[in-house]
Each structure stands twice: as structure tokens, then as C-alpha cells.
Structure 1
């Protein structure tokens, strides 16, 4: 029998689990089948890989050698597979742009600007509420560029080999119906919303925890948080069921006003990401510049955001 990668993965699983019983459960095998497979692997390698005892298994000297090599071989093969997949999926022309982004006006504004700057480029878009999903699509070569974001100064979505650059940082505003008692305020203190129910779009970063921490500092615990899509969020605010949390660039919507929170307890950092290997440096510079200009245009179209920037002397 020749040694294969699956055999190394089996040996690693046994070592990590510490017993054949637990490893069999992880691998979805019956224990006798795993024991027989281990014996075949040991015959191929010329000796026992594990010593069996009352409390599980322990690697022999030969087993330690195999495990040490597997820690190098398995990640290297995985990386090779990922690189090959990215290369196969990457378009061979610079005039093809696959863009991704979270929900909001920035992706549309970027597409609009790029359509003028590179009019012969073929563009496709994908949206997701999950920054991690967008990062994974970049890593797998299914996207060329992605607009994502993080709460405050949190780290960008994690995936090996990705480059992230800041587009802009927005304060987080609150959305209230026009008839709300606080709708005419220039800004709203978080403590004044202690009795409200809340709504926001979902995410897989730390925004929810940061919001809860801000409320705790203000002396209250949110009564309820509805995590929903943008259309449902708007509806809940319009009918007075909840107040919403949104980025300051949220577009003007009938029946709703957006107001800054006193002291800016929450912020959202817009990021543009691409893969360091398959990404094109010249195209990345163009897309980043257009993303920043797209954000400036979206921000200027919001009266409440424009007023906030003027009050805080943001250029």
C-alpha cells in the first residue's frame, strides 16, 4: 500500500483525538474499521505509530516523526489546492470585475463610478450580510474585490492572503419614524432610547457586542433586537415597532429620519479587500480610489450626515 494524504489525515485525527474511539467518531468511521486502517498504515510505514493504553493512545518515536512531517505536508497541499482553485477561477482579462459587498448604497455607487471609468469592463456583483463569507469568496477566487466592514477598529475579516484597505469610517446613526419625539433633534443621546426596541441588519462581526457594551455604559440593557433584512428593518421603523441602527450613509427613506448619536459611541469602518496573489495591483488602485469617491458622494447625499460632518469639521 502506498501512503496517501488521507492516511496522514487519519494519523493526525487519531493524535488530536487521543484515542481511537474519539477519532472514529470525528472521522465518521466504526472503531474496528479505523483500527484496521491504522494497521495498514503502520505496515506501509514499517512500524507502530501509537502505543495503546488505558487512557488512550500516545505517539511512538516513529509516530512523532510522521506527525511532524504531516504538519508540513498537509497545510502545504491545502494551500496548493486553494492557489490552484483561485488561479483556475480568476478571469484572464483585466476587463472583467467581480465585485462583492454587504447591503447598503456603497456597492451600487462603486459600480456606477466604475462603469464610467472602465466602460468596457464586464462587471458582476454579489451581496452578503456576512463579511466572512465575502472574505472567503475572495480567498477562493470567486470575487476580485469586496466591500466589507468592521465595527470601529476591529480586525478585517480573516482569510489568508487577503489585502484590506480602508475606504472611510462612518458614525453609526439611529433611524426613527418622522413622528418620533426625538426626530427633530440634531442628535440623540443613547440614554433617551433606553425604553425602545431595536432593529438592525445581521452581521458576523463584533457590532452586536459593541452595541450592547455602549448601552451598558449608558445604563440600560436593550429590550429587544430584531436582526432582519433592510426592507424589514425599514418597515419596523416606519410603523414605530423599533428604532433602527444604520450607517450614516443610509439613504433618505420616506417616513424615516436618521440622527447621530451623541458622542459617536459606535462607528463602522468601510474596507475594500482583494487577494494579494491573484489581485491586480493597478486595478486595485483604481477600484480603491473609486470606492473612496463613491463613499464621498453617498455621504454628501445624506442631509443628516452632511450636517454631522460640518459640525465635526470633517473635510
Structure 2
């Protein structure tokens, strides 16, 4: 006599997910995996987000399901959907993961406070002249205080490091009015707001112009430094509004950008703090289609937060100095190329 179909399914599930199949302990990384699958809505997208091959993620999910005693997701052609058990686990994960993250941040801040009796400054920044100016001013104003630096192309990495207590301050940039990363965990102050300038070889046909319309550069190749903000999208949108799509954009380090412009292979995008460089001129774009905001972020509960007003003031002074020394402060033709800088 055979069992009814529903009873048979329950029997198979019991054998597959029963107590004897629980061969591992649940860890935080498993909860993060479950949450990533639910957020992505499919194993394929979740595997991409986690940097895993899909078969590896599928195998990991099966082990997690065995440990928890049942399937967490129903799989279909349209993706995955959480089961009742999956909903329960996800509800707990949404409480546990932020709590553990907050505990880790507090522990790191507490441990470093006890290890560092002297006030110090751990600074992180994207590449540019402001970091050096800020370091100089902090060392001059607080002799003996340790100052360490870290640079990265990733604004998100720097913000996360400040939020997690590995940095005291993150000096980054944001395009236009886009919000900075970690808005709920960090406090942010605007250091300055610059127009984005175009960088040309000094022999370029438009180099003698005091101002250049973006549409006049439609046939050019472009070069810019990398980043994980929205600047690339904002630049592409500005070009579309000007009536063209960039033929090519070389994303590379600052030295390579400068070289490509100097030899006439591309035109570049830069901020008002870009230092004066032989063979180059910078010019404002008509109508200021792109704006760059320099931002300073810190964790409001960190020990270093008490110095935030002072560090912000030093960063603003470093910006003013950098603009004065920049390529666009006063070019050889006597044009003011950074009009409109706040």
C-alpha cells in the first residue's frame, strides 16, 4: 500500500531535512547569504553579488537548509521566493545582522580608544591634493598627534571604514546633489563645491577659449579617474543633454589621465583643485553642467568626533589653498577658470 502524495512529500522532506541531516552550525555568514538571495530574488543574481559561482551558492544553500531543517526558498522560472521557514529566518536575520555589526563597531572603537591615549587622526581620502593639505594643517596645529592616511578610489570603502571605526574621517567627493554613502551611520559636512572643469592640452584648438561648451567636445575621447559614485552616469547624461554620446572614456589613474591629455589623445575632467601641470590648461564648461562636492564624514559616536569642527575647518582651508595653486586659478591668458567656486 502506497502513501498519499502529500504524505509522501512530507516523508521525503523529513528524510532530507531531518535532525540527522544537520551537519553544521549556523554562522553569521550563512544569514548574510540567505539575505543576499532574498534581496536578489534569484540564485544567479545573488551569486554575482556575492562573487560566487552559482553551483557553489546552490550547494551552500542546501547545507544551510539542512542545518535549519527545511527549504528556505521555493524556486521557479521567475526566481526564488521565501518559504514560511525562510520568512522566519529572514525576519530574525534582519534583527541579528545589524545588531552584530553595531556590536563590532562599538568594540573596535572601544579597543582603539584604550590603545590610543593620545588624540590622533586616521584620515582616508580619494586621490587629490586636499589630503596632503589637511595632513599638513593637522600636524601644524597639533604637534605630536599621530596622523595616518589611507587612500582609495572607492568612496564607499572609505565611508564604510569610518563607520566601522577603522578611520576617524573620510574625505570624499559626491557628484551634484547625490547623497554620500552611509547616510544613516556617518555625519557629513560639505567642505567645498567645485564646478567640474575640462582639461586640455595647451595646444588644443579650444585651449585659448575662456569657457567651452560641452557640445564643442563631442568628437573628443575622454579620460577620467575611477570611482564608485554616480559621476560617470552624470557625465553621460550631461553629454546626452548636449546632443552627443562620448565616443570613448579612458578610466585610469591620474598620471595616465594627464599623459593622455598632454599628448592629445583625450580631454579630461578635473576639479578646481587640480594642480598646475606643464602642457595642460583647464577651462570651465559653459553653464556648469557638472558639479563636485568635497565632503568630510565621521562617526558621530566616535572619540574623534569632538574634533570634527576643527578638522572640517582645516579641510576647507586646504581646499582654498589648493584652488589658489590650481591649474585653473589664473591661466597664462589671464582668464579666471574657476569662477563660481564657493
TM-score, length-scaled by structure 1: 0.82
Checking the alignment, whether the CA contact within 8 Å between 1:50 and 1:59 is kept in structure 2 is: no
1:58 aligns to 2:89 (yes or no): no
State how many pairs are aligned. Answer: 300
Q: Structure 1 35/233 Cα, relative in aligned 2: closer, same or farther at 3 Å? A: closer
Q: Structure 1 94/243 Cα, relative in aligned 2: closer, same or farther at 3 Å? A: same
Checking the alignment, whether the CA contact within 8 Å between 2:223 and 2:266 is kept in structure 1 is: yes
Which residue number in structure 2 is paired with residue 293 of structure 1?
317
Pick the aligned partner of 2:57 from 26, 36, 42.
Answer: 26
Which residue number in structure 1 is paired with residue 27 of structure 2?
6
Tell me the secondary structure at the aligned position of residue 132 of structure 1: helix
CA distance in 2, matches of 1:19, 1:200: 34
Q: Structure 1 221/88 Cα, relative in aligned 2: closer, same or farther at 3 Å? A: same
Which residue number in structure 2 is paired with residue 107 of structure 1?
131
Which residue number in structure 2 is paired with residue 260 of structure 1?
284
Pick the aligned partner of 1:172 from 196, 199, 214.
Answer: 196
Checking the alignment, whether the CA contact within 8 Å between 2:155 and 2:173 is kept in structure 1 is: yes
Which residue number in structure 2 is paired with residue 79 of structure 1?
102
Pick the aligned partner of 2:222 from 198, 203, 214.
Answer: 198
Tell me the secondary structure at the aligned position of residue 181 of structure 1: coil
Report how far residue 27 of structure 1 moved. Answer: 6.6
Higher mean alpha-carbon deviation, 85-94 vs 243-252, is at 85-94
Q: Structure 1 35/249 Cα, relative in aligned 2: closer, same or farther at 3 Å? A: closer
Report how far residue 74 of structure 1 moved. Answer: 3.7
Report how far residue 26 of structure 1 moved. Answer: 3.4
CA distance in 2, matches of 1:235, 1:8: 44
Q: Kindly report the root-mean-square deviation, in angstroms, between the aligned alpha carbons of the 2 structures.
A: 3.5
1:141 aligns to 2:165 (yes or no): yes
- 1:3-62 CA-to-partner distances (Å, cap 9, x unmatched) read 976399569939949999x9995374384x5554234xxxxxxxxx779989787326xx
Higher mean alpha-carbon deviation, 116-125 vs 193-202, is at 116-125
CA distance in 1, matches of 2:264, 2:156: 32
Which residue number in structure 1 is paired with residue 13 of structure 2?
none
Report how far residue 190 of structure 1 moved. Answer: 0.7
Unaligned 5+ runs, structure 1 = 40-48
Pick the aligned partner of 2:67 from 33, 37, 43.
Answer: 37
1:126 aligns to 2:150 (yes or no): yes
CA distance in 1, matches of 2:286, 2:73: 64
TM-score, length-scaled by structure 2: 0.76
Unaligned 5+ runs, structure 2 = 1-18, 47-53, 331-335
1:242 aligns to 2:266 (yes or no): yes
CA distance in 2, matches of 1:7, 1:145: 28
Tell me the secondary structure at the aligned position of residue 29 of structure 1: helix
